[in-house]
Structure 1
Amino acid sequence: MEMKDLFCWKSMILGYGDAWTCRENACDQMEGETGPGGFDLLKDFANLDYSYNLSSEELCTKISLCDALIVGSRTKVTLEVFESSAGRLKVVGKAGVGIDNVDLAAATEHGCLVVNAPAANTVAAAKHGIALLAAVARNVAQADASVKAGE
């Protein structure tokens, strides 16, 4: 396996998912480009549990049946979650760049791999940059202020 595969949650799950005896995954809501299309790739390799907006207690209840967990930014993966997995959780995939919502010390203590997708927002960031350039070139902020002032 190449190092780049460790940082792409789609490759990571596809590469490892079929090796687990019980292939259950709990996923929090993914939006935009990581939406349903990404999960469609996984359904042939794993039994997916699409669980949205889980409370901490609900996640702790479900996690004991899971080998992998894919989360966005809203889900906090705490020591309590790792303890509730009873050693079954092998990998946490973060759909996005930051992993500040995952307790890395607890993951290490429980032998759980944590991966992210550092290039996941590259296209969105580029689009935002182009939009900002256009806004500056066309004086959008000044025009907005003028309209709001009734001028």
Structure 2
Amino acid sequence: MSEVKHGRGYVYSIQYHIVWCVKYKHKVLSDHVDKRLKEILHKIASDNEITITEIESDLDHIHLLVDCTPQHSIPSIIKALKGVSARLLFKEFPKLKKELGGGNMWNPSYFVATVSEHTEAQIRQYIQNQKGGENHTNP
């Protein structure tokens, strides 16, 4: 369960379930790319004072459960995670850019939902079951 945190003059518990897809739903998130993507996303999150509490991908999309502060806006979280990860993945795996036709790594759209203490366990389970699963949330 997400813990309640304290800021200067406020108390909060903010979690989001975030999903986005690879451009054109190309199935490129396998093996080394998948592993490296998760490492990169954890580093970006840490650098931005965001915590990824669950993460899983399935070849063409990724699901995250993130904890953040009231100062974070959803667009800024998405921009940081998608923008930096794409740049670093293209740099480390040049063949990705070719596989994606020289364009963008990620589809510009995304899905986001707030998470409550009543839904957190269900969302965690859903994210953990993504690898090779039948259930998909596609933005």
- Normalising by structure 2, report the TM-score: 0.24
Higher helix content, 1 or 2? 1
Larger radius of gyration: 1
Higher strand content, 1 or 2? 2
Which of structures 1 and 2 has the larger relative contact order (alpha carbons within 8 angstroms, sep 6+)? 2
- Normalising by structure 1, report the TM-score: 0.23
